[in-house]
A and B are shown apart, each in its own frame.
Chain A
Amino acid sequence: MSSGVAEKTQTTIGGIRRTFAPWTDPSAVHLIRYRNVTKRFGSFTAVDDLSLDIYEREFFALLGPSGCGKTTLMRMLAGFEEPTSGQITLAGEDLVGTPPYRRPVNMMFQSYALFPHMSVWDNIAFGLKQDGMGKPDIAVRVEEMLRLVKLEAFARRKPHQLSGGQRQRVALARSLAKRPKVLLLDEPLGALDKKLREETQFELMDIQMKLGMTFLIVTHDQEEAMTVADRIAVMDHGKLIQVAPPAVIYEQPASRYVAGFVGDVNLMAGRVESNQNGLVTVRTGSGGDSAGMRLAVAQEVQTGAGDEVWVAVRPEKVRVDREPPADTNVNCVSGEVWDIGYLGDLSVYHIELADGTRVKAVRPNLTRMVERPITWEDKVWVSWTPDAGVVLTR
């Protein structure tokens, strides 16, 4: 690739991926490009005039509720659906009209779609045989794939003799065997239980980095998307709502929809009082100036006095104290504990403020205590720092 494409490197600290952000680099060349793609099924518009670039070696997630068009978007890349209008290119080549069996793209199916009458070995070798690869080469590649997914001992088994997790890995190996330019993953972990799913997420990231391939994953599980992806596209009604790295999606959601879909959020409607020097002041409620709370948000945002906005605060960023905090008086309101959810590692507090709004706060349980200091119907103070909240204009 050109020198403009940043190399995906691993920092030594905790293995966190950094410095991989080709989407910020104007000279980077896209691998996949959707241009004004629309797909209609009868009168239903599944994908609506959508444009999107995906870069080489990216782990890209399409996230959204069922029926938002994310699967259709992926199936158009695989060739199972043709766009009603628009263009899809892969490495500069127009894909529209190319049948699925001639596209350098492979897909891992939600149902795994393993061929029940073939052994694990034959399933993995299937795609290679279609390419007319020589027998010795096929054997080498299949062995390599079996090693990659740690299934060397199961090569001769039939799919129905495997557990769900093993089948998932056979499906992965089969779709990787041809070294496609892009691997498509359609809800790949949906059938696994929670623990196995979390393990497999890390395995997927590991494999993707090892092979240096481009992965496109479709999921409705926001945690999964957050864990594996370099960038997430949040979709709704056939449109992209926001395309950004997980941390941006979470900390600076583009809209109330994104804020609510990814993670938990406290939303407070209000009007802007002032916006200067990177500090926005919002008066909540729709009444006059005296009513409602005054909230401060440290954020650069295009909005002026009088605009209708929403302040979003993540529950884990809300502090709960029994006494008014001495160190601050911004974003600080009194309320009453309405309900507590004890999750072991965390406790979730639902606090009713004087004006009736309920605020959710999540606090880690840092010490071993059966009796929590804050309990039902306690008078408490909730507060958050100006850089904890975010102003949403839509």
Chain B
Amino acid sequence: MRKGFSAFNVTALVLGFTFLYVPILLLVIYSFNASRLVTVWGGFSTEWYWKLLENDQLLDAAWVTLRVAFISASVATVLGTLAAIALTRYGRFTGRTLFSGMIYAPLVMPDVITGLSLLLLFVAVNFDRGFWTITLAHITFTMCFVCVVVQSRLVTFDRSLEEAALDLGCPPLRTFFVITLPIILPAVVSGWMLAFTLSLDDLVIASFTTGPGATTLPMRIYSQVRLGVTPEINAICTILIAIVTVVVVSASIVTKRQEIERQKAERLAAAGVME
């Protein structure tokens, strides 16, 4: 069978990509619009990017967002990795099914419900809402994504590597840091990047759990858009797109390279003759 381009395939591809990327492309193009009017092209300009630098509100929001994303991604990576290890290693403990179901639940839970339940919790324990409540909420919902990514790597992890380290006199904790972690590191890193981007563009959960003085960038953009889309918003969104693209692309490169490396090793093993 020919795997070429049939008219149907090309049409489907073009339609799909148009649907996905035309809005984003429009936003990026209009961020370089010289005109104040969002829908009228007035020539190329980087004016709105310079204007951004003077907009303290937006810059503050960006700074809060980055800090929340960094802290929550890091904590979520540690917790998610530990959960993944528990789930893959201790095969038959009581309540395993319940536990693994519970770790996956936030993946499919509507953000509104996650946000609302966290808000209720913070109110109930009388936790002052602000930066730390957003961070905690983000740790909670990104942790399960990290867990899933790391778990998928651990399933194919050869346990005899750890046994070999133990056998050669390396105690269990050190074995984890010198053998297990370096080998699963690519998965941990891409888990971190996933958590980072998820936290970066979350609006719903952040809106529920925020308090005075802690406004994230998506929240700021959303509130400004209600007053009308300004070219400045287009500019900051373009920057956000750039950041997310870089993070996601590098995460996939890390995974891809690891995959290629593994396939190469397998090929060599298959052709494994002496010398």
Q: Please encode chain A, from 131 to 170, with 1 for each CB lying within 8 Å of some chain B CB and 0 for all others.
A: 1000000000000000000000000000111111111000
Interchain CB contact under 8 A, B166 and A109: no
In this complex, the member of B165, B167, B171 whose beta carbon has the largest number of chain A beta carbons within 10 angstroms is: B167
- Dominant secondary structure at the B interface: helix
Q: Which of A106, A109, A131, A160 contacts B268 (CB 8 A)?
A: A160
Instruction: Report the minimum CB–CB distance from B120 to chain A (whole Å).
Output: 44
Q: Is the CB of A130 within 8 A of B272?
A: no
| Contact of A164 with B163 in the complex, beta carbons under 8 Å | no
A107 with B272: in contact, given A113-B160, A113-B161 (CB under 8 Å)?
Answer: no
How far, in whole Å, are A175 and B160 apart by their CA atoms in the complex?
13
Q: Is A100 an interface residue (CB 8 A)?
A: yes
What's the nearest-Cβ distance from chain A to residue B163, in Å?
6
Interchain CA distance A27-B60 in the complex, whole Å: 85
Beta-carbon contacts under 8 Å, B93-120 to A: none
| Residue of chain A at shortest CB distance from B266 | A160
Q: How large is the interface on B (under 10, 10 to 19, 20 to 34, 35 or more residues)?
A: 20 to 34
Q: Mark B230-268, 1 if CB is under 8 A from A, else 0.
A: 000000000000000000000000000000010011001
Contact B268 A165 (CB under 8 A): no
Complex Cα spacing A115 to B163, Å = 11
Residues 144 to 192 of chain B near chain A (Cβ within 8 Å): 158, 160-161, 163-172, 179, 182-183
Q: Which of B160, B167, B172, B182 is within 8 Å of A111, CB to CB?
A: B160
Residues of B near A165 (CB, < 8 A) are 272-275
Q: Is B7 an interface residue (CB 8 A)?
A: no
B12 at the interface (CB under 8 A from A): no
Alpha-carbon separation in the docked complex, A284 to B158 (Å): 53
Query: Is the C-beta of A338 less than 8 angstroms from some C-beta in chain B?
Result: no
B164 touches A107 (CB 8 A): yes
Closest Cβ of chain B to A344, distance in Å, is: 24
Bound CA–CA A187/B260 (angstroms): 29
Please, which residues of chain B bring their CB within 8 A of the CB of A80? Answer: 163, 166
Say if the beta carbon of B269 comes within 8 Å of chain A.
Answer: yes
- Shortest A216–chain B CB gap in Å is 14
* Residues of chain A with a CB closer than 8 A to B170's CB: 101, 126, 130
Q: Is B271 an interface residue (CB 8 A)?
A: yes
Binary CB contact string for chain B from 47 to 72 against chain A (1 if under 8 A, 0 otherwise): 00000000000000000000000000
How far in angstroms is the closest Cβ of chain B from A273? 55
Q: Confirm or deny: A325 has a beta carbon within 8 angstroms of a beta carbon on chain B.
A: no
Shortest distance from the beta carbon of A162 to any chain B beta carbon, whole Å: 7
**Known contacts A111-B158, A113-B158, A161-B268; A106/B168 CB under 8 A:** yes
The interface on chain A, measured as residues whose beta carbon lies within 8 A of the other chain's beta carbons, has a size of 36
List residues of chain B with CB within 8 A of the CB of A79: 166-167
Do residues B171 and A101 form an inter-chain contact, with CB atoms below 8 A? yes
**Candidates B160, B165, B264, B275; contact of A163 at CB < 8 Å:** B275
Check A178 for interface membership: any CB of B closer than 8 A: yes
CB within 8 Å of A: which B177-212 residues: 179, 182-183
Q: Contacts A100-B163, A113-B161, A115-B161; is A163 near B169 (CB within 8 Å)?
A: no
| CB-defined contacts of B163 to chain A, threshold 8 Å | 78, 80, 100, 107, 109, 113
- In the complex, which residue of chain B has the Cβ closest to the Cβ of A166? B274
The A164-205 residues at the B interface (CB cut-off 8 A) are 164-167, 174-175, 178, 191, 193, 196
Q: Which of B160, B165, B171, B261 touches A126 (beta carbons < 8 Å)?
A: B165
CA distance A99 to B166 in the complex (A): 9
Flag whether A245 is at the interface (Cβ < 8 A): no
Q: Give the residue among B160, B171, B172, B264 with the most A Cβ atoms within 10 A.
A: B160
Residues from chain A with Cβ under 8 Å of B172 in the complex? 101
A372 proximal to B (CB < 8 A): no
- B159–chain A nearest beta-carbon distance, Å: 9
- Tell whether, in the assembled complex, residue B167 and residue A106 are in contact, meaning their CB atoms are under 8 Å apart: yes
Binding site for B on A (CB under 8 A): 78-80, 99-102, 105-107, 109-111, 113, 115-117, 126-127, 130-131, 159-167, 174-175, 178, 191, 193, 196
Q: 10 tightest CB-CB pairs across the interface, nearest first? A: A164-B272, A160-B265, A127-B168, A130-B169, A165-B274, A113-B164, A113-B160, A163-B272, A100-B166, A109-B160
Interface residues of B (CB under 8 A from A): 158, 160-161, 163-172, 179, 182-183, 261, 264-265, 268-269, 271-275
